[in-house]
Chain A
Amino acid sequence: MIASRSVLRSLRIKFYAFLFCCMLTGCYQSESGQHEELQEVAIGVTSTYQGEAATYIAKERGFFEQNGLNVTLKENPSGKLSMRDLIDGVVQIAHVAETPVIYSIMDTSYFKGSDHPPFQIFADKIYSHDIQKIIGRRDHGITEAEDIVGKKVAIYQGTQLDYFFDSFLLEHQILNSEIEIVNMSPEKQIEAIKNGEIDVSVTWEPYSSYIQKELGENAFHIDTDLTYSTLWLSVALNSYASSHPDILAAYLESIKMAQDYIRENPTDAQEILASKTNVPLDVIESLWTEIDFELSLSERMLTLLEDQARWMIRNDLADTTIQNMEELINFGPMEQVHPIGITVVR
């Protein structure tokens, strides 16, 4: 009798201990296991741009899957093409700089033959600095900014390079008519300036680094006091954003996780980026301090968009206008995922 009472007491204590352990372990159950089916999302990215680091890391480290997304990356040479893919419905989210966005809104001829649906900006993913560069050939007589007068200058038109180069010309009091503009993609500019087809290349990283590598001592980087910090926006169609707010939030959550990963594992992030973009690791390392990976919707972004809108109007590049730039922005996903990144004065 005494023995059975002792056994019962022992069992009772073990049961309470088990219950207690279950309560404790229950607190730490992973949320990842709660997802059922991954949702398909296509994202248009610029394959060689370092600003895409968070996207590649999220893809590589499975952060998209962790947030219930099966992401397909549509790789393009520029954000402009990604924007086009967005409008064409090839991708649901496009990574693009601010200028193509403004062009898309204010120049109906920007995407010829397309009466594009309305879209929206729901995040900026980087803080960049001096990504755009102007490289001239020394042997073509270019050793200072004013030397480009009368020279053949290659630029990929319809991108943020237009605004950047316009500022450069304004700073150095050079008229458009005094130079010969050649519309050329960044990849082609490398060979063109190497072959001497062009005298000056207005391009972005990492192509400017490639050109400097190719030209070596013959390359002359034309500095400018009026620096330019391009944005790297996440854009979605309004219809998609309104119907899939959870996907946009999951997408931002994945990007945020990737940005945290980059901050905590910069070396690993650089190696992943190098392998995914085929950009040499040393180039990535040399440019690493030019970009911070941080989700935001800032007043500066809005100011820049407005600046560029005004610039288009002054330069007769716009055939329409936008009354309130803030209407272009969807704060919802950011408010859900990273509210402190929103610094727009509202």
Chain B
Amino acid sequence: MKIKTRLNIVTILSIGSVIGLYLYLWFSTFQVDQHFEQIDQISDFTNTVSELNLVIENYLEYREQRHLESWNALFNRLTEYEENIEDLSETNVIGNSLSSIESAFELIEKIRGNPDAYPDIIDRYRLLDRATSRIRSDIQMLLTISNNIATNRRQTIREIQVSQQINFLMIMIPVVSFLGYLLYQLRSRIQSSLNILLEGTQEIAKGNLDLRIEVEGNDEHKTLAENFNLMTRQLQEQINKERDAREKAEENQKRWEGLVEQDPNLVMIHFDGEIQFINPAGAQMMGAASPDEVVGKSADNFFLETEHQRRREASITRNGKDEYSPTIRKVYGLDMNERFVQIESVPIKYYGREATQTVGLDITEHIHHERELKKSIEEKTILLQEVHHRVKNNLAVTSGLLYMQRVSTDNPEIASLLGESERRIKTMTLIHELLYSSTDLSSIPIDEYILNLVGLIQKSLDPNENIRVNTNADSFSINVTQAVPCALILNELITNSYKHAFKHGETGTIDINITQNKDNVEFTIRDNGAGIPEEILNDENNTSLGLTIVKTLIRQVEGTFDIRNNDGTIAKIKFKKEANAKTTSNSL
């Protein structure tokens, strides 16, 4: 049974007992009051009988009118009492005695009123005596009975009072005993349970979490003990978990500390720039002999931003988590040495606070190497440009010499041959010109080159621009190795179309398509001219210089060459592009 239920029972019993006792006492008091009221009424009756006795004696002796009036009044009052008082009306002798008294009184009045009817004086007085005696006897009876009734009432009151006391004890003793028993049981139960719980908690307080508190019964203390045991068990599990976690953390800490201690890179933790932790390598980067010299100082004192770094950091994309992409910072150490450190920061929790962990790599030597390399590259670039420039200039000189010879000869054939040679040299010159004017000295943009080449040829062979040249080239670059043969091949094929496809003064169209599909490059040159004579096409041993150059150069770029007639001439060259060539998405 639960303690709450027990307490409820005790409370209900207590309240019930109090109410019951109150009702019982109220009822008993009511009963006693009723009896007292009856006694008072009977007492009035007795007093009236006594008065009647006195009045009758006086009247019989003196026959005063006032006594007769008193008699009538008193007798009527007694009759009323007899009718209204319960005890008197229930007792026949009262009414009978009153009736006898009245009859006897009337008889006396009759005798005294008419004494002549009783001529024998002795008999008259005997009769009067007997009537008087009857009245006295009945009055004495009334007094006796009323006194007895009052006595009985008093006795009843005493019995009620005794009964009240006995019943009070009979009710109170078992109720109080039972309540006492319940309270004793309850107290013992609570005390026992509390002692067990108290001892248990003391044991647990000493650290004995293996203890399980056992409380008998099925009450709140049992539940409390079970919950307490559950709490202890969970606490123990939690402690075990935390111990495991702590051990693991300590192990990780040791491992981390070991790693960090031995890490040649910077490992630093700071709150808003204030250094909380730094490993020895980091301290060394700061020019300090030990981490203690650095901890507590602001990281901004060591890491300075150059204008270049500011620009670079401004362009760094922050991912919204205080996580920074690697950046290079110049460090001015306590030893006044300048170092370059590549740092990377991530937000972490450090002792429960938001912190930033920065990992840094000393790249001072790398920076120095880079600078030297850059300087070397710059020097070589200048040198290469100079080479290209000189090659171009030499080729330009050669071309100029050929031009001078061409314009100085009267032989048109020689002039033409010289002109071809001049264009071929210019073709190569154009390549070197593009190379040295470009930032990239190893490849040339093919689309740009084609436009220049077409312009060059057109200027040389069709200054009137009778032949329309449509150029469609993908935007990509090819390296110098392939660029020169390609340039010469294109020069030969375009020149061939200008010179042989159209008669002098004819109009026509040359379509140049240059496409790149992955690493495959295809040149297509089509004209709508007369086409190449079939005997030349079918002659395997054709010794035409132009075709010979083309075939020779095709082999150099390891490509294929196809030429045929189809409403003009179509020449297709395919080869695989070598690496180190840039591609852009722009197209002409």
- Residues of A bordering B, CB below 8 Å: 13, 17, 20, 24, 127, 129-130, 167, 170-171, 173, 224-227, 229, 288-292, 294, 296, 298-300, 303-304, 307, 314, 340-341, 343
Contacts and interface: CB of A to CB of B under 8 A. Distances in A.
A24 B92 contact: no
Contact of A300 (B131, B144, B151, B152): B144
Given A127-B93, A171-B107, A340-B152, A229 B140 contact: no
A170 B147 contact: no
B99 A129 contact: yes
The secondary structure that dominates the B interface is helix
A226 B134 contact: yes
Given A127-B92, A229-B137, A341-B148, 20 more contacts: A24-B173, A129-B92, A129-B97, A129-B100, A170-B123, A170-B127, A171-B127, A224-B103, A225-B103, A226-B127, A227-B99, A227-B104, A289-B95, A290-B92, A291-B92, A294-B148, A303-B137, A340-B151, A340-B152, A340-B155
Contact of B96 (A20, A127, A224): A127
A288 B92 CA distance: 9
A300 B148 contact: no
Contacts of B138: 229, 300
B22 interface: no
Contacts of A20: 173-174, 177
Contacts of A173: 117-120, 123
B136 interface: yes
Contact of B103 (A170, A226, A296, A343): A226
Among B97, B127, B147, B173, the most chain A Cβ lie within 10 Å of the Cβ of B127
A303 B106 contact: no
B534 to A, nearest CB: 126
Contacts of B107: 171, 225-226
Contacts of A127: 92-93, 96, 141, 145
A299 B144 contact: yes
A52 B177 CA distance: 51
A225 B140 contact: no
Contacts, number: 100
Contacts of A294: 93, 145, 148
A297 to B, nearest CB: 10
Nearest to B166: A27
Given A20-B177, A299-B144, A227 B103 contact: yes
Closest 8 CB pairs of A and B: A129-B96, A127-B93, A225-B107, A343-B144, A225-B103, A227-B100, A300-B137, A292-B93
Interface string B161-201: 00000000010011001000100000000000000000000
Interface string B70-106: 0000000000000000000001110111011001101
B60 to A, nearest CB: 15
B110 interface: yes
Given A173-B117, A225-B104, A24 B170 contact: yes
20 contacts: A20-B173, A24-B174, A127-B92, A127-B145, A129-B96, A170-B123, A173-B117, A224-B103, A226-B131, A227-B100, A227-B104, A229-B97, A294-B145, A298-B140, A300-B140, A300-B141, A300-B144, A303-B133, A314-B126, A340-B151
B141 A298 contact: yes
Contacts of B147: 343
B130 interface: yes
B104 A167 contact: no
A226 B104 contact: yes
B6 to A, nearest CB: 16
A222 B91 CA distance: 26
Given A292-B92, A292-B93, A170 B100 contact: no
A291 B96 CA distance: 9
A289 B170 CA distance: 41
A12 to B, nearest CB: 12
Nearest to A298: B144
A303 B133 CA distance: 8
Contacts of A13: 181
Nearest to B117: A173
Contacts of B136: 303
A256 to B, nearest CB: 12
A292 B142 CA distance: 13
B38 to A, nearest CB: 16
B140 A299 contact: yes
A340 B138 CA distance: 18
Contacts of A341: 148
A299 B140 CA distance: 7
A173 B122 CA distance: 12
A63 to B, nearest CB: 19
B92 A304 contact: no
A76 B371 CA distance: 163
Interface string B552-580: 00000000000000000000000000000
Contacts of B151: 340
A130 B127 contact: no
Contacts of A226: 103-104, 107, 127, 130-131, 134
Given A300-B141, A303-B136, A290 B130 contact: no
Contact of B130 (A130, A167, A291, A296): A167
A226 B110 CA distance: 12
Nearest to A167: B130
B110 A307 contact: no
A130 B96 contact: yes
A170 B99 CA distance: 20
Nearest to B106: A225
